[in-house]
Amino acid sequence: MSNYSEMWSSLGLNLEAHDQLLKVLPPTYHDVYLTQPNRPKNMEYFDFVVNEIHGLRIQELQEHKKAGGKVIGAFCVFVPEEIVRAAGGICIGLCSGIDIGTAEAEQVLPRNICPLIKSFMGFKLAKICPYFESCDLVVGETTCDGKKKAFEILNDYVPVHVMETPQMKKGRDRDLWLEEVKDFARLVEETTGNQISAATLARSINEVNGKRRALRRLADLRKCDPAPISGKDSLLIEQIAMYDDVERFTARVNQLCDELEQRVQAGEGVFPAKTPRVIVTGTPMAIPNWKVPHIIETSGAVIVAEELCTGLRYFENEVAEDATGLDNMLENVAARYMGINCAVFTPNPGRLEKLVQLVKEYNAGGVIHCTLSFCDPYAVEANRVEKMLKQEGIPLLKIETGYDQEDAGQLKTRIEAFVEMLK
């Protein structure tokens, strides 16, 4: 990575703590990603993006801001990126996948709280994340009680807008969500100083749908056996999708898919044919939370799909492009996001049905349900997942973990035993 110290200093980062973070990431990334055999050549771009994760992309954000643009940060796939882009803003996903700033976070949060919540609070309070420091506005949502209350505290340090995510999918819930989307559009207009028009929203819907189509193309290629790309690489791409430039990212994913299609035609894969195939579901896995996928794919299995918000839920549905007026377009945006099968919803049959469908489509032998410690929505819903998969005769392994490496040995033993059973 080039020397960006002056830029980081201008953002007010704690340079000493930030340097410590950057010293940890490269060796971790090398061990998890760069040691994989027979990786697709076009993964080089995504390696470059991670290498420049706090560099070139942050520089692009600063140039955007100097030109009068605004940056809006989000933690969840419920925040409509189309609306931010339609007003000339940039929407970025914020860091929350590593134990960082723990001492600072625990001054304002309970010690026993979801690692993801503690992580994003630690990034901000310890001033380690240049994405956080680049944001003009941060958008939260009510997908869990812990996040909902943590956003109140976060608002003491950065402007936070919270979107009320409905808990059900009845007609009145959809009406509520549409009003939330409209309120968000008005706020984005105020923040950016730009009015959203039917033309700008139509363009941004098309651009973001293009990104979703590229990711879905990648997902479809993973149905092949042998798998043309590892689950770890696919997860990395899905994570990068949340903060990279939309059009550049879309082009690079399609370029990668061109290469993967050639591999499929030649019968080439990154794992031998008939390698046990698993689907991962549960709590989202933000960068650099790669522990469980790495253990799975070094234990004799290949991950063929992620039923996660950092996975299929992020891109599986598109915004309908058939509307002409602005109000109708906003209705289509709201409808698309209500199709996400988050564990916040009760009941949530869509997620259970989707998992069964994925197992059949991807010819998976089993499902691994991974929940972060203290993540109540997914930990409790694991009961419904287990019941449904048992009825369908689909093997399931449930694990609960955090961001530390203390349980890595125990997890590897359990995952190896599960994979052996699938064989």
pLDDT tens for each residue of 206-246 = 999 999 999 999 999 999 999 999 999 999 999 999 999 99
State which amino acid sits at residue 41.
Answer: K
Which range, of 17-26, 230-239, 311-320, averages the lowest pLDDT?
17-26
Residues of the chain with CATH 3.40.50.11900: 203-318+342-422
% of the chain with per-residue pLDDT over 90: 96
Residue tagged 């976060």 (tokens): 154
pLDDT tens for each residue of 266-286 = 999 999 999 999 999 999 999
Average pLDDT, whole number, for the chain? 96
pLDDT tens for each residue of 65-79 = 999 999 999 999 999
Q: How far apart are CA 41 and CA 326, in angstroms?
A: 42
DSSP 41: G
Structural tokens at position 218: 């990648």
18, pLDDT greater than 80: yes
pLDDT tens for each residue of 134-179 = 999 999 999 999 999 999 999 999 999 999 999 999 999 999 999 9
Say which residues have a Cβ less than 8 Å from residue 209's Cβ, sequence separation at least 6. 318, 319, 321
Residues of the chain with CATH 3.40.50.11890: 5-201
- What is the helix (H) or strand (E) element at residue 48, kind and residue range? helix 44-51
320, pLDDT greater than 80: yes
Q: How far apart are CA 160 and CA 294, in angstroms?
A: 34
Note the CATH architecture for domain 5-201.
3-Layer(aba) Sandwich (3.40)
Cα-based angle 118, 92, 287 (whole degrees, multiple of 5): 50
pLDDT of 23: 87
pLDDT confidence of 85, banded at 50, 70, 90?
very high
Q: What's the average model confidence in pLDDT over 370-395? A: 97
Q: What's the average model confidence in pLDDT over 96-105? A: 92
State which amino acid sits at residue 134.
Answer: S
% of the chain with per-residue pLDDT over 70: 100
pLDDT of 283: 96
Q: Which of 145, 99, 94, 152 is nearest to 122 (CA)?
A: 99
pLDDT of 95: 78
CB-side exposure of 322: number of CA atoms within 13 Å?
A: 3
133, pLDDT greater than 70: yes
Q: How far apart are CA 20 and CA 58, in angstroms?
A: 18
pTM above 0.85, yes or no: yes
Edge-first strand listing for the sheet containing 71-74: 90-93, 71-74, 137-141, 160-163
**Omega within 30 of 0 (cis) for the link into 349:** no
348, pLDDT greater than 70: yes
41, pLDDT greater than 90: yes
1, pLDDT greater than 70: no
Structural tokens at position 418: 């599960």
CATH topology of domain 203-318+342-422: Rossmann fold (3.40.50)
pLDDT tens for each residue of 235-264 = 999 999 999 999 999 999 999 999 999 999
Distances (CA, A) of 84 to 71, 187, 196, 398: 9, 10, 9, 37
